[in-house]
C-alpha cells in the first residue's frame, strides 16, 4: 500500500496534505488586525512596569505567541505606520517623521489593506490605522469614521498637564470615547454574516496623549501608590550629542521635574492603558463569541514605545529601548502554541510579509520585511536577524537578543549589553573589545538611505507665502 501511495504522489495523482502556514492558506483565514497608538511595553505579560493592568491584552497573549523583543520601524506614528502598512522602511521611502507626507513616494496601490482587497478579501477599517492629517486611504471595502462626544475635564483635575505632556481625568463615560465607538464597529462587523474572507482593522488611539480617560480609570491607580519607571539621574552623561538632542532633557523632563507631577503623569499613562485594555477586551469577547473564532488570525501591535522620564526623555522620538519597544501578539489557528513568549528580536516590518504567507497571498515585490511564520510555529526557532529602527536619515538602532547598537548620522555610537544592563545605563561603544559586535550589526545597515521628504508644514507655509507674494506683485 505504501509503495502505491508513493507511486501516485510521484505521478502527481495524489497530493500531500498541507502543513504549517499552508493550512491557513487553504482555509483563506480572516484577519483581525489591532493597531494601538503609543502603547509601550507596560503590559502585564511583559512585566516592564509592575503596576500595569492589562488583563485582556494578557488574555490574548495567553491564546497565542507574544514577542518580548518587538520593535517599531520608526519611533513616531506617521513613519512607523506607513512603513508597516506599505512594507517599505523609512530609509526606502524617505518618510522619517510625523510632518512628512508619505504619498509622493508610497503608492496607495501598495498598502496592506489594498493587497487584501486585490486578493479577494473584504477590507474593513476603523479608528487610527494611518497617521493624522495624511489619513486613511480609500482602499477599503468599508471604513467607519469614529464619533465621540465632547471631552470634559473632570473637576478634580487642576489643569491639563505639564507643558506639552497632557494628562487629566475626564468627566465623560467610556462610550463617549472614539475608541469605544471603533470597537463597537468592529464588534458589529464580527457579528455579520460574511460571504468572503475579511481583513478587519480596528485601530485604537489611546494611550496616545492626552492621557485623558474617564476618572474611574485613574481611581484604579491611587496617586500615593504610583511607582516611577526605573531610571538613573545623569543617564545622558555617556550619550553622544546626537542622542542628547533627541532626548531634549531641557524640555519635557526639566518641566516635569520643576512641576513635581511626574507621578501624576505615570498614573495617567497607566489609567489610559487600562482603558485601552478594556476596549481590547470588548473586541476579544465578541471575537470569541463569533462564528469566525476558529478561522481568524489575530495580530495586535503598537506603533512604537514611549518614554516617561527614562534617560531624561519623554515621548517617543528616540532610539533607545523605551521609545522603540512595544507589545506584539499573534494568534494563528493551527499554527501558534498558546501562551508562549518568543525571545527573538523582531521588528514590525515583519507583519506585512507574514500576513501574506499565512493567508496564501503572494507577497508584493516591494515588501522588505521578513516572514516570521517560523517563529509563530516555534517561538524559539533559530533567528539571527536584528530588529531595526530608524529615526531621521542615517540614524539607525539595532536590537539583538543581547545587544542594542545605535549609530547616528554623524558616526557617533551607543552600545548596551542587555544581559547586564537592561535599562541601557552604560554605553560601552568605545570599548575596543566590542568592535566585532558593532561590525556584525553594520552588515545590516540599509543599503539605501533616501533623503528626507519635505516637512509638509514648511512646504505648506512656503506655498502660502509664494501665493501671497504673487498676489502682492499683481496688485503693485
**Residues annotated as catalytic (active site), given as ranges:** 77, 131
Q: Between 262-288 and 178-190, two packed helices, what is the crossing angle to 10 degrees?
A: 10
| Residue 277 near residue 13, CB atoms below 8 Å | no
Q: How is residue 5 written as a grid cell? A: 501511495
Measured between its terminal Cα atoms, the distance across the chain in Å is: 97
- Rounded Cα distance between 266 and 441, Å, is 34
β partners of residue 71: 325, 347
Q: In this structure, are residues 402 and 380 in contact, taking their beta carbons and an 8 Å threshold?
A: no
β-strands 307-308, 314-315: how paired?
A: antiparallel
Q: Does residue 210 have a cis peptide bond before it, meaning omega lies within 30 degrees of 0? A: yes
**354, 373 contact by CB (below 8 A):** yes
C-alpha cell at 397: 538602532
Could you count the other beta carbons within 10 Å of the beta carbon of residue 310?
A: 24
CA 443-67-302 angle, 5° bins? 95
Q: Are strands 403-407 and 396-399 parallel, antiparallel or unpaired?
A: antiparallel
Backbone angle region of 404, left / alpha / beta, with phi > 0 → left and psi within -120 to 50 → alpha: beta
C-alpha 237: how far from chain center: 29
- Among 398, 394, 307, which residue's Cα sits nearest to residue 347? 398
Packed helices 77-86 and 351-359: angle between N→C axes, nearest 10 degrees: 30
Amino acid at each position: 500500500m505504501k509503495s502505491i501511495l508513493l507511486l501516485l504522489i510521484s505521478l502527481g495523482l495524489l497530493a500531500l496534505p498541507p502543513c504549517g502556514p499552508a493550512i491557513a492558506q487553504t482555509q483563506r483565514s480572516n484577519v483581525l488586525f489591532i493597531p494601538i497608538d503609543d502603547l509601550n511595553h507596560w503590559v502585564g505579560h511583559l512585566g516592564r512596569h509592575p503596576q500595569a493592568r492589562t488583563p485582556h491584552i494578557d488574555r490574548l497573549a495567553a491564546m497565542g505567541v507574544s514577542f518580548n523583543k518587538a520593535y517599531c520601524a520608526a519611533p513616531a506614528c506617521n513613519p512607523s505606520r506607513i512603513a508597516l502598512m506599505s512594507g517599505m522602511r523609512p530609509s526606502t521611502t524617505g518618510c522619517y517623521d510625523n510632518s512628512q507626507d508619505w504619498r509622493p513616494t508610497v503608492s496607495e496601490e501598495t498598502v496592506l489593506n489594498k493587497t487584501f482587497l486585490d486578493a479577494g478579501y473584504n477590507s474593513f477599517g476603523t479608528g487610527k490605522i494611518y497617521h493624522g492629517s495624511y489619513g486613511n486611504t480609500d482602499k477599503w471595502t468599508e471604513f467607519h469614521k469614529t464619533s465621540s462626544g465632547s471631552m470634559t475635564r473632570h473637576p478634580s483635575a487642576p489643569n491639563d498637564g505639564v507643558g506639552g505632556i497632557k494628562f487629566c481625568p475626564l468627566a465623560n463615560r467610556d462610550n463617549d470615547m472614539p475608541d469605544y465607538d471603533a470597537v463597537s464597529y468592529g464588534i458589529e462587523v464580527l457579528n455579520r454574516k460574511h460571504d468572503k474572507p475579511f481583513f478587519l482593522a480596528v485601530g485604537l488611539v489611546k494611550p496616545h496623549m492626552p492621557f485623558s480617560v474617564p476618572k474611574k480609570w485613574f481611581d484604579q491607580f491611587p496617586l500615593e501608590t504610583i511607582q516611577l519607571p526605573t531610571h538613573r539621574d545623569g543617564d545622558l552623561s555617556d550619550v553622544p550629542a546626537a542622542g542628547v538632542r533627541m532626548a531634549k532633557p531641557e524640555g519635557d523632563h526639566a518641566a516635569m521635574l520643576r512641576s513635581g507631577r511626574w507621578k501624576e503623569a505615570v498614573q495617567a499613562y497607566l489609567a489610559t492603558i487600562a482603558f485601552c485594555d478594556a476596549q481590547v477586551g470588548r473586541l476579544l469577547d465578541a471575537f470569541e463569541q463569533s462564528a469566525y473564532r476558529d478561522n481568524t488570525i489575530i495580530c495586535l501591535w503598537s506603533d512604537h514605545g514611549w518614554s516617561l522620564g527614562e534617560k531624561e526623555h519623554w515621548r517617543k522620538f528616540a532610539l533607545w529601548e523605551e521609545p522603540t519597544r512595544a507589545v506584539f501578539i499573534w494568534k494563528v489557528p493551527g499554527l501558534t502554541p498558546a501562551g508562549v513568549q518568543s525571545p527573538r528580536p523582531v521588528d514590525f516590518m515583519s507583519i506585512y510579509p507574514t500576513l501574506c504567507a499565512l493567508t496564501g497571498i503572494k507577497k508584493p515585490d516591494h515588501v522588505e520585511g521578513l516572514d516570521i511564520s517560523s517563529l509563530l510555529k516555534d517561538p524559539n526557532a533559530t533567528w539571527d536577524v536584528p530588529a531595526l529602527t530608524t529615526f531621521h536619515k542615517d540614524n539607525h538602532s539595532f536590537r539583538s537578543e543581547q545587544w542594542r547598537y545605535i549609530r547616528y548620522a554623524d558616526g557617533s555610537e551607543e552600545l548596551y549589553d542587555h544581559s547586564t544592563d537592561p535599562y541601557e545605563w552604560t554605553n560601552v561603544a568605545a570599548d575596543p573589545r566590542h568592535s566585532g559586535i558593532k561590525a556584525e550589526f553594520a552588515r545590516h545597515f540599509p543599503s539605501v538611505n533616501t533623503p528626507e521628504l519635505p516637512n509638509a508644514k514648511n512646504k505648506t507655509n512656503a506655498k502660502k507665502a509664494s501665493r501671497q507674494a504673487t498676489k502682492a506683485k499683481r496688485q503693485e
